[in-house]
Structure 1
Amino acid sequence: MHHDVTLIPGDGIGPEVVDAARRVVEATGVPVRWDVQQLGRPALDDGASSALPEETLASVRRTGAALKGPVSTSPTGGFPSPNTGLRRALDVFAQVRPARSLPGVPTVFPGLDVAVIRETTEDLYAGIEFRAGSPGARAVVEAARRHGAALAEEAAVSLKPATEVAVRRTLDFALAWARQHGRRKVTVAHKATVMRATDGMFLEVGRELAARTPDLEIDDVLVDNLTALLVRRPEEVDVVVTTNQYGDILSDLVAGMSGGVGLAPGANHGPDVAVFEAAHGSAPRHAGTDRADPLGMVRCGALLLRHLGEDAAADRVDAAVADLLAEGRVRTYDLLPPGAPGAAGTRAVADALVARLTTHDGGPR
């Protein structure tokens, strides 16, 4: 029996780190049949009519799982964000980014173990924006003025939509994820004191669920207060569930606290599919240099294996990563002091992990 998985290399450093993750997954001996598809600029370069090709979407719908590299958004506005488009088209509405301190990785938060879950289809990242002076912006400004807002006529506008359906299913997902992973507490992060309609809805539904969920501790906190709590007493935070923009920021914060964004994995979940991608971006200036840290994507490979029901193989990948970091001999530049010699390349890190999986622990099984 084999597992069908869509493989999206992405752009920038994407192809290098995705190849490293693919090699590590294969080194576990779990049979995976990869369906390679393109997204973003690479898709257009291959002759696709869209940066979000229907062939790519169809592949993920068929396989139900994708390992995806970082994909750049056009800096000139030549095409919409393929990342946002992919999430919407596949209805992947909840993103999980776990962060925990790892052996051998310098951090002032050695006991960190936090997961950030964010809603990914709405909020300020929904892409409903109007440039200053456009008809849409003027209409929104006029409506805001009727409600007493003192907005300049030439204001640019971004809208922050929220629906109860999206809010409720994200909170339900967070509670189910916490139970499945043996977590003790879920914190609802919001700014309902200012955004009473949108964040107020998130808070209201969260408190409703808390009142009828006796098996989990559920609290809520203002998002700015949460950032202070995370850096002062992170042991008080377990699972955070929040809106799209706050979740993006908080997940990078806890990734940095754990030792670096280059180490941070992530998973996007929908009703029928899951897309696994690292927290870092495409870093085009490092593309093709064999310099990028592949461990975030490798750890996505472990999350993928768990999603496929291959828990033993996922444990072996996690153990190989932990052993490699604890040993400290093979590290990319981001895990060394600035300017320190001896940085390993992307391929060397993958080679070391593959060697551990195929030799040190007895080989694929």
Structure 2
Amino acid sequence: MARRTPPLLRHLFRGATDGGASRLPLDLAESRRSVTYMPRPGDGAPRRVTLIPGDGIGPLVTGAVQQVMEAMHAPILFETYEVHGDMTAVPAEVIESIRRNKVCLKGGLRTPLGGGVSSLNMQLRKELDLYASLVHCFNLQGLPTRHEKVDIVVIRENTEGEYSGLEHEVVPGVVESLKVITKFCSERIAKYAFEYAYLNNRKKVTAVHKANIMKLADGLFLESCREVATKYPGIKYNEIIVDNCCMQLVSKPEQFDVMVTPNLYGNLVANTAAGIAGGTGVMPGGNVGQDHAVFEQGASAGNVGNEKIMEQKKANPVALLLSSAMMLRHLRFPSFADRLETAVKRVIADSKYRTKDLGGSSTTQEVIDAVIAKLD
């Protein structure tokens, strides 16, 4: 992916000029850029990262990341905490660790169905105000798919919408569930999407909505996106209704670049795009806010695996390895990120070591060993 040069980044955040993308003072703009996945020069000092192995295949794939980080001699120190989806809440010491370290890497956490048990994933996002979910769905050389030239970034509002969890039983047999959309959250996710597009040389941002039916809620989301779009004249902006979006995704996905969506739609769109580009097992992602970031497998479908995969130790570590490359860039270690990404892509291109979901029969450890062998 092409990236802006430092002079262009400085120009982006320069004081008021003619119709540019940002009018923030440099010091404030730098702090806001912390939510993007851009390589920035660092001092090279080791960074502590909170590690949550999670449920199911989580310990396998997070263990894979630890092995590769050690093989690269990456300046990362992990603080490991046991968290499982059947807990009533994320332990306070885990939240404190993430607040202290600013960055977390996690495996999947099971979310119990029904029963009034809250999702720990949602708890983390709300507690740390991780308002933006980013999933990068793209073709990998050597991995055949129905469509080519797929390179989609799905940016999803992460804290409100249908996932607010505001529901109650009005009378027995009647449940009311509220969809919450605010201008504040809509504006900041739109700004994040356009900022990401600008800094990463992306050409187009597409807002996904259902404003033809939910005229007030999704209408407010669209209004916010339109306002922000006027501040980025160099980036094409368009809108698409979510049902048409799904149809277009499976028929002509190469038309999409950056997509910005409310919460529920983003979950569906990201998993659909991931399936088109090669599967959820190879798509990286993360959840970010102003001060904290949690990196994990990008698409949520099947992220804890099944008993057979765990018994055979054949979980696919690619998605979390690529998410870890995102994390390394976020931590200002771009050279390590490049080495990791290049090694993973070489293993996929060689097609000798692949897990079952990618058409192979390799174990997790065999894939890890292959990645380590490809490190420059």
TM bucket, shorter chain: 0.7 to 0.9
1:213 has 2:232 as partner: yes
Out of 279, 304, 309, the position equivalent to 1:282 is 304
CA displacement 1:153-175 (0-9 Å, x = unmatched) = x4322210111111111111111
Deviation at 1:7, TM superposition (A): 0.6
Question: Contact conserved, 2:85 with 2:120, CA < 8 A, in 1?
Answer: no
323, 334, 337: which one pairs with 1:311?
A: 334
What number of residue pairs does the alignment pair up?
328
**How far apart in 1 are the matches of 2:175 and 2:184?**
28
Deviation at 1:224, TM superposition (A): 1.4
Is residue 80 of structure 2 the alignment partner of residue 36 of structure 1?
yes
100, 110, 118: which one aligns with 1:72: 110
Q: Which residue of 2 aligns with 1:260?
A: 279
Structure 2 unaligned regions, length at least 5:
1-44
Note the C-alpha offset of 1:283. 2.1
In 1, the alpha carbon distance for the partners of 2:127 and 2:306 equals 26
Q: Secondary structure at the match of 1:156?
A: strand
Amino acid at match of 2:100: R
1:283-298 equivalence runs, <5 A: 283-285=305-307, 286-298=309-321
Structure 1 counterpart of 2:70: 26
Query: Which amino acid is 2:290 matched to?
Result: P
* Higher RCO (CA 8 Å, separation ≥ 6 residues): 1
| Mean Cα deviation higher: 278-287 or 325-334 | 278-287
Amino acid at match of 1:311: P
Residue 118 (structure 1) aligned with residue 156 (structure 2)? yes
In structure 2, the CA distance between the partners of 1:64 and 1:288, relative to structure 1 (3 Å rule), is farther
Identify the residue that residue 368 of structure 2 maps to in structure 1: 350
Q: 1:10 aligns with which of 54, 58, 62?
A: 54
CA contact (8 A) 1:25 1:302 kept: no
CA distance in 2, matches of 1:80, 1:322: 37
Displacement after TM superposition at 1:288 (Å):
4.2
Superposition deviation, residue 65 in structure 1: 0.6
Q: 1:76 to 1:156 in 2, by over 3 A?
A: closer
Deviations 1:89-123 (A, max 9, x none): 00000000001000111201121000000001001
Among candidates 56, 62, 87, match of residue 125 of structure 2: 87
Distance 1:321 1:57 in 2: 31
2:175 paired residue number: 156
Instruction: Name the CA distance, whole Å, in 2 between partners of 1:215 and 1:76.
Output: 46
Percent sequence identity is 39
Q: Tell me if 1:321 matches 2:344.
A: yes
5+ residue gaps in structure 1? 45-49, 135-153, 337-341
Q: TM-score, normalised by structure 2?
A: 0.84
How far the C-alpha of 1:258 sits from its partner, in A, is: 0.7
Whether the 8 Å CA contact 2:204–2:257 is kept in 1: the answer is yes
Deviates more, 1:65-74 or 1:122-131: 122-131
User: Are the equivalent residues in 2 in contact too, given 1:22–1:301 (CA < 8 A)?
Assistant: no
Deviates more, 1:223-232 or 1:348-357: 223-232
Paired position in structure 2 for 1:102: 140
The structure that has the greater radius of gyration is: 1
Q: What is the RMSD computed on CA atoms of the aligned residues?
A: 1.6
* Offset of residue 225 of structure 1: 1.4
Equivalent residue of 2:284, what SS?
coil
